């Protein structure tokens, strides 16, 4: 009986701690659908930056927090904006490099200050013999709303769906 009361009490405390801010503090409720659409639009704009910005790398770095975390395949954890610059400079300078990604889903937390996006990507690189190879995969990006209302990337993780395949030219 004592264990049951403890479990119930723990459940109630945890449940209250996870309730949306509006329910706890009497604030107006957050329109999560609108916030989801806003975050998805932000990720879509971000996905266009490498192809449309005058300075693609700077456009990519502009949406990252200073302490961003990148969890890229086959490399150790990359911590911070400057280390991210180094990684993306190295990757984007490889022969045959191109990257396209498409956000497909966004979710927002109850307080609308933290969210994530999920999508797909296609990266091409030349192999050691000069053949153009493509890798397709998926990504998960965690975003945090900033004091000015904008969204910035806190963490980004991506991995391939399988080995690279030769691109028919």
Would you state the pLDDT for residue 28? 55
Q: Going residue by residue through the chain (169 aa), what tens digit of pLDDT does each one get?
A: 444 443 333 333 333 334 444 444 545 578 899 999 999 999 998 899 878 888 988 999 999 999 999 999 989 999 999 999 999 999 999 999 999 999 999 999 978 999 999 999 999 999 999 999 999 999 999 999 999 999 999 999 999 999 999 998 6
Domain ranges (residues) in the chain: 1-30, 31-166
Residue 158: partners with Cβ closer than 8 Å, 6 or more residues away: 71, 72, 73, 121, 137, 138, 139, 140
Would you state the pLDDT for residue 26? 46
Whether 118 and 139 have beta carbons less than 8 Å apart is answered as yes
Whether 88 and 94 have beta carbons less than 8 Å apart is answered as no
Would you state the pLDDT for residue 56? 86
Determine the 3-state secondary structure of 127 from DSSP: coil
> Could you tell me whether strands 64-71 and 151-160 are parallel, antiparallel, or unpaired per DSSP bridges?
parallel
- CATH number assigned to the domain covering 31-166: 3.10.450.50
């Amino acid at each position: 009986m004592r264990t049951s009361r403890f479990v119930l009490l723990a459940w109630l405390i945890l449940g209250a701690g996870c309730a949306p801010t509006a329910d706890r503090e009497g604030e107006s409720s957050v329109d999560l659908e609108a916030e989801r659409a806003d975050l998805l639009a932000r990720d879509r704009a971000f996905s266009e930056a490498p192809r449309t910005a005058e300075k693609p790398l700077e456009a990519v770095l502009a949406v990252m927090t200073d302490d961003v975390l990148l969890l890229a395949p086959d490399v150790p954890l990359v911590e911070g904006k400057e280390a991210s610059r180094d990684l993306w400079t190295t990757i984007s300078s490889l022969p045959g490099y191109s990257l396209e990604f498409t956000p497909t889903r966004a979710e927002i937390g109850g307080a609308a200050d933290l969210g994530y996006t999920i999508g797909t990507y296609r990266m091409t690189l030349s192999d050691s013999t000069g053949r153009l190879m493509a890798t397709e995969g998926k990504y998960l990006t965690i975003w945090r709303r900033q004091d000015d209302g904008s969204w910035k990337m806190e963490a980004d993780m991506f991995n391939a769906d399988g080995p690279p395949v030769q691109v028919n030219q």
